[in-house]
Amino acid sequence: MDSPDTDGIIAKRAGPLRSGPLSYIGAFIAALPDLYAADKNPTGFIAAVVAENKCERLQQRFLQRMAEVPLPDVAVMNYGSMTGSPALKRALCNLLKRTFVDSPSVRFKSDNMAVLSGCTACIDALAFLLADEGEGVLLPTPTYAAFDNDLGARAHLRIVDFELDEDRGDIEGQLDGAVEAARARGVVVRGLLITNPCNPRGTLYSDDTIRSMLRWSLDNKVHYIADEIYALSVHADGVTFRSAMSVLYEDLVGRGEVSAEAAASFFHLLYGLSKDWCASGLRIGCLYSDNAPLHEALSSLAPMASVSNYQQHLVAGILNDEAFTAAFVADNRAMLRESYVALSDGLARLGVEYVEAVAGLFLFADLRPWMDEQSIEGEDRLWRSMLDLKVILTPGTACKAKQPGWFRICACCPRRPCARASHAQTRRSLSQRVALIRSPGFAWVEPAAVAELLHRLGRLLRS
């Protein structure tokens, strides 16, 4: 029902949206005018709550490279394809092919790539076009907190969250169980959304698990949505990421276990520039699918979420520079590792256990021993105690964690001002980069910010 203050002012369907996309978004927005800075605002909020890559050194490098892209033809001032320029579609296909979707079994068709204003827009479009209102999407937990909004705000889909236990095995049986539980509630499952690397845990699913989930999805005509926005943010030594698309076409289609027709109809890959490229403000996400009717329908939604032609021109120019992109990815991984190690080592000294992450901008910490009650209410009180100390973390219940008391801490925290890197510096060898980040006086992230975060958490946990 409409509340008295909105009756007739906005639509009834707008009412549930007024609270915002995240349970903790109000605290984050309120903290923005008072964020921590070691030199200017040492008592400000430390908002380790948003998975945003704010390494200024890399952001400045990206901006500088944008400035070096030649001016485009005047045609960028006119309307173009609302699902992305041909040049950027080709550049994205080539980027994926030379990085994390490098299987020779994968054949990208640039016409089947769509570019929208961020991965959120891509998920919203997929939700609207692949399922009808009230139908469900399977989502292993814990998961990204904003999927409720992405899938539900406009498409009105229902999330069917469930625990996926890789150690237990029988992945397909677990998926069958989740579908049966949904059916008992009157929900028809149309999709399976897999974020890999996982947000909030920073872990990778095994190839065996990915194969089982893909096989189950295509056999049951359930759309498999591969959210791989952190694919190039794997930072642990000796760990490599393999895309679900490579697994699908090399291990399943290539061996005749699933048909190429089923793969074309029911597999969809998501990627974007927000995480791996420190460019969340550019609002560029992409969707690859060989489902022709999906692209036909997407042409009607894309005008509401298109990216400017000029911005697409700049980004295509950058992504086509193979030397620049290879160096950027390597330096980003080094930065993420340094940041993660600083935070995880500090938590260990405080006696806090956490899931060991190999990728992403965060870790998932277990603060259950410090709750006054093992309940959602106890988690909320602990979260508010942190807020009193001007620390904002992502509560585990927002990530649909089954046990209250887990918190996501974004390890890529506040920034350190630094000079722009020259173009020549982007071509350093890996050994030179490692030597640089280990040199005295160098830091990717502001050491004081991580230290202050740990200091404030320590005060709370010892109280």
- The pLDDT tens digits of the residues spanning 96-126 come to 999 999 999 999 999 999 999 999 999 999 9
User: Which residue's entry shows tokens 């046990």?
Assistant: 403
Can you give the pLDDT at residue 441? 36
Q: Mean pLDDT, to the nearest integer, of 241-258?
A: 97
Q: Is the dihedral of CA 356, 358, 363, 364 positive or negative?
A: negative
Return the percentage of the chain with pLDDT > 70, whole number.
91
C-alpha to C-alpha distance for 410 and 416, rounded to whole angstroms = 16
C-alpha to C-alpha distance for 395 and 214, rounded to whole angstroms = 30
Can you give the pLDDT at residue 412? 61
Taking every pair of C-alpha atoms in the chain, what is the biggest distance, in angstroms? 64
Residue type, 458: G
Domain boundaries, the chain: 12-60+324-462, 80-321
- The pLDDT tens digits of the residues spanning 17-38 come to 888 887 888 898 999 999 888 8
Is 2 or 461 the better-scoring residue by pLDDT? Answer: 461
Is the pLDDT reported for residue 426 higher than 60?
A: no
> CB atoms < 10 A from the CB of 141, how many?
15
Is the pLDDT reported for residue 59 higher than 50?
A: yes
Can you give the pLDDT at residue 447? 62
Can you give the pLDDT at residue 6? 67
- The pLDDT tens digits of the residues spanning 389-407 come to 999 999 999 999 999 999 9
Can you give the pLDDT at residue 240? 94
Q: Tell me if 165 sits within 8 A of 40, measured CB to CB.
A: no
Is the pLDDT reported for residue 217 higher than 50?
A: yes
Mean pLDDT of the chain: 90
What fold is seen in the domain 80-321?
A: Aspartate Aminotransferase; domain 2 (3.40.640)
- The pLDDT tens digits of the residues spanning 135-158 come to 999 999 999 999 999 999 999 999
What fold is seen in the domain 12-60+324-462?
A: Aspartate Aminotransferase, domain 1 (3.90.1150)
Can you give the pLDDT at residue 24? 83
Can you give the pLDDT at residue 432? 44
pLDDT band with cut points at 50, 70 and 90 for residue 332: very high
Alpha-carbon distances, residue 157 vs 133, 135, 174, 243, 289 (angstroms): 5, 5, 21, 26, 20
Can you give the pLDDT at residue 3? 58
| Consecutive H or E run containing 178 | helix 171-184
